[in-house]
Structures are given as C-alpha cells and as structure tokens.
Structure 1
Amino acid sequence: MPEPRRLLPVSIIPFPDRSIQTIRYCMAIAQSSSPLAQLLVHCRRFADANAGPDGSAPTPARGLSVVRALHPGELMVAVQKPVIAMLLQGRKRVTTLGASFEYAPGEAMVIAADIPTVSRIAHASIAEPYYALVLELDPAILRALRPAVSVRSGKAPPVRVEPIDAEVIDASLRLARLLDRPEALSVLADGLLRELHYWLLMGVHGPAIAALGVPDSHAGRIARAVDILRREYARPIRVEELAQAAAMSEPAFHKHFRAITTLSPLQFQKQLRLIEARRLMLSEGAKIAQAAHMVGYASVTQFTREYGRLFDAPPGRDIRIANAVA
C-alpha cells in the first residue's frame, strides 16, 4: 500500500533554476546559527534534488522523508499512519477528529494513531516553498525503548501540534546532515532514529506515542488489523479475520477500532481504496474503470459515486484538472 504522503499529490510545477533572490535567501538561512534554520537548509537541498512529481522526497533513512511544495495546494485526504511532521517553512492546515490545526515553521504535528485526515498546504511559493520533515513512528523502536523510558503520566490526544522540542531538532539535524553521505547514513541512521523516538517519548507527545509500542494495548491490537487492511485493501476482508488478528471478540473489535480510527473497518478499507485509486489516476495516468478495478471495485458506477462523496467531485473532473496543470 502506498504511503499516505504519496496518495494525493499537490499540483506542483517543475522547480526552476535558482534565481539570485533564492540564492541569497539560502545564504541568509545558512548563516543563521539556529538549529532549525540549519535543518531547513539540509532538508531543502535534499528535497530540491530528489522530490518527485508529488513533492515527496523519501530519504535512505527508514520512514523518513522530506516534503516540498511550491504553491498552496488542494485539499488532500489520507488515512494517515502514525507520524510526526516537522514544519520547516510555509504553513499547513489539517482537520481530523473534528478539530482543525494550522501549524507554522518550528511546530510539529504528531498523529499517534491510524486516522483519516484532510489537509491543505496554506502557504508556499516558488521563492519560499513549503518544506516539512516527516517521520513515520516505528512501533518496534518504541517497544525496544519502553523498558528504559519513563514516559510522563496522563492522557494525550492522538493529534497534537506543539513547538518542536530542542532535542528533537538536534537529533533531526544530525540525521539530515547525513542525507548526502549515504555510507555514513547506513551506519548511523538506526541509532539516530532510535534517539529521535526517545526524545519524542520524553516530550509532550509521549503518552500518546508510547501506546503505539505496547503490543497488547488496544492501540497495538488494532494496529495489527490496520496493517492487514493497508496491505490487502483490494480484496474482501471479513471482520472476523480482523478481530482474530487483534485478538478481540467482534463486538470489542468494532468498538475499539472506531474509537481509535474514528471509522468502521469497512469505511476504513473504502477510504484506502478510494485514496489509492485517486493516486493511480492522477500520478500514474490510470483510466477511471482501470483504477476502480485495481483497487477492488466490481462496479465503476459505485466507485464513481463513492469517490465523489469522499472528494466532493467526480473522478473525471480531478483527472481533467490534473491534465490541465501538467
């Protein structure tokens, strides 16, 4: 299953040769002693050299990517994996769980559950693009750290925007400095990713993040079912199979699945299918019927109806807009 960051590409035009204004801008940032400014310089250089048509630039470090956009984009719908998104330049607005968050450079949004989001890059331009460093939270690392970490007590919402902790910026900067040194990154990345997860656990997001590393917690059990849905979204999946994977009764599974993801298992799978179909049409040029069948729909009419309900527009319109931009 493609990563959520790739699902609904922002309309992006090719990045031009740097103008004198842009070069001066980069030099001004580079001269700053701020670790956050230095992190932007390294991430910007990597993204400008490696970003794909959707603006995403996956790095060699597991689960780490840089996102770039050159102008404000359309609404993006995704069933988001647990992540931390550190905003380095620009602004972004995200709506999820009935609340909206707009965050700015120096702030991070942590999503500590598999939940649907609707987002839009609110500020970006060719002179000052949007850049964000995104890390998928790794339950295996969290499980390994848990015995050695005393996470602050209390409950935390699964979605939260806060200023980026200094320790998180420092660990991220040391990781970003290695992006153009693949040999060093292959040796040091695992340790730096572990450190980054440690500081996230110790920060304000700790209580929500820690639950991801507890296999027998409700979040951990539901995550096993979500993994099946993400990998095999195109085939019919019985709720009984998902409940067994989560080691729950079907009534308990339904209750906890909705509590954590805000969706029923069927709704969750449907959104995965529709999001992937949109990616296939806009990024890979698939026809409407072809995309519908590839993601598991037997009826193109049903696909078109449900697509329009989720995205507020029929698939044909989205394809026409994407072709016009291209």
Structure 2
Amino acid sequence: MTGVSIILYNPLYIGPHWFKGFEKWLSPQDRMPSKKLKFSSLLVLVVVAICFYAWMDDLINPGSVPHALQRFKSSNKANESFTMIMPTFDRTELLFDLLKHYQAVPYLKQIIIVWQNIGQKPPLELWESLGPHLVPILFKEQTQNLLRNRFLPFPEIDTEAVLTLDDDLQISIPDINFAFSVWTQFQDQLVGFVARTHTAHAKGVYTVSTPKTDRYSLALTGASFFHRRYLKLYHDQDSRLHILVDSIKNCEDIAMNCVVSFWLLQRYGPDAPPAAVHVKPVDMKWLEMKTKRAKKGRGNIGLSRRPGFVQQRGYCLTEFVKIWNGTMPLHYNNITLTLTGKKQPQVKMPNAKKGRK
C-alpha cells in the first residue's frame, strides 16, 4: 500500500523522478519542462484510474481485482490474517526469544499467550519495555494448568484461522507463510507440521505412532492451523473426554483431530476429506533444551519425554472411541506438501473415498 499512497498523494514525487525513465522516449521538443509536467500528470492520472477501476471492480465483483494489484489491497477480512495461540509453562526465558522471532510473521494479527504459571504474574511490562512490537501480545492468565486451555475459545480471537504452537518450537517464517497459504485453500481441515498415524488392533484397541510410510491420519496441534470454530466444538465435548485428558496430561491433540473429523463427516458425509493435511517444514527446531534450567536438569523438558507417553496415546484413542459409541472418526491421508521448488501433489477437497479406512 505504500507505493500506491505515494502515487495518489504525492504526484510531485513522481514527476521529476519517474520522468527520467521515460525521457529517452520523447523528442527534443517534448523535453521542455512544460511537457514533462504534462507527461507526469498524465502518468499519475493513468495510475489513479487503474487503481480506482480495480477498487470499484472489487466492490462489484469481490475477488476479481487483477493479480498485479492484489498486493496493494488493504483488508480486515477475518480469513486474511490469523491468531497465534501459545500455551506456556516455566519457559519465560525461551518465550521471549520465540516472541521476537514470530514478530516478523506476515498476516499474524495477534499472539495469545496462555499463561500456565499459576500464581505468577505474566511478564507483560517487561515485554512492552523491549518494544515497540509489530504484533500485539495478549497474556491470558489461567487458574489451572491444563492442556485443554490451549483450545479455549477466547473472545479476543477475531480471525478465522488459528495457529497453535508449543512454547519450545521455532518454525521458520517462510514455513509458516506457506502453511497459512495451504490453510486458506482448505479451511475446514487441520493443517499441521507434524504428522502421526493410528493403527487398529484386535478387540478395538488402537495405537498412535510416527508414520513409517507416507500415510498419516493426525496432525499434532503443537504446530497446526485450524478454523476457530473447532475451539468451541472442542470445549463442548463430552466431559469424560476432558477428564481423561486432564488426568493424564496427554492426548488433547488426538481429541482435536477427532473433533475436526466429526465436523467434516457431518458436513460432507461419506466423501468427507481426512481431518489432517501435512505440511513438511523446511526449518523447524525444538528449543526446549536451550534454557538454563533444562541444561541443569531442573527445567520443564516437555511432557512427550515422560515414560509411557506413547502408550498413553493409544489408550486415549481407544477410550475416545468408546465415548463416541464405537465410532472411529479418523481417516487416512497421503498428501504431504513442502516449501520447495519442486512440483508438489495437489490436495483435493473434498477427498475421495479411497483414502479412508
């Protein structure tokens, strides 16, 4: 929008500077100052007319603005930006490093920090003293340290897209931009950077593991985009689901994938696409061991490193299916997209039945 502002509001800037590029095309007679002014004025009028036409055309036919002018548009539409939600516990030192990193992310409207350090005031004043900052930070203090707090439907969320990130994860800005562009095309699905798969065993028992092939059925919500509607849907789930997740401090991401899948089945029926779409990051780092407390063995090094963590996840999914009266909502996908120069497979919406089990 900066370039357009200069054109519209400062024509004298265009005249003497822009004219040099066109002067060689004019005859010697036309290179008189009066001719220069006329030519510059004409150029300004042409540019203004193009921009005005594009603006009017967009009012009449939304989305029809020529691609060359699309970048000059300024819009507050809810689906053209996103909100980042990051729960944090005992990682203030690392949190500030991540907040500085994510300040440069385009289309990021705000960052909501779910403050899980019960009884401690969030470091808002300290953060603001390091400003100014491009992206506003909102601390939401919690009264209980619960995993499902990351899925609370905070009233301050006014974007359609939500990006949930763990407080020890640093993803490159190009990767985030790419994943957001994927989500804008598939807004009903969960677009995530880390994929997992489920496996059915005898007697209705399930396990959840890292995929050994290109087939997966879940995207971890520690690094995922999804529609804000799913926050309310997750909040409204059967209390037995919340009790299970709270008691073992695990599986909130599996539950969210199931919530998304159920919504897709309700909307699209038998041809519903899988809940998860995997975007493989080019540059993603787990930074949990970089904190001083973690190096000394006293810090929070992540719930996923606890003994029995993986076994608990299979148990959770088995119990979730029982809560949902024996229905397994998860379906498989085999599409992985990544930010490279190579041609990638196309994701179709809705997906065909062949990807289901």
Larger Cα Rg: Structure 1 or Structure 2? 2
TM-score by length of 1: 0.26
TM-score by length of 2: 0.24
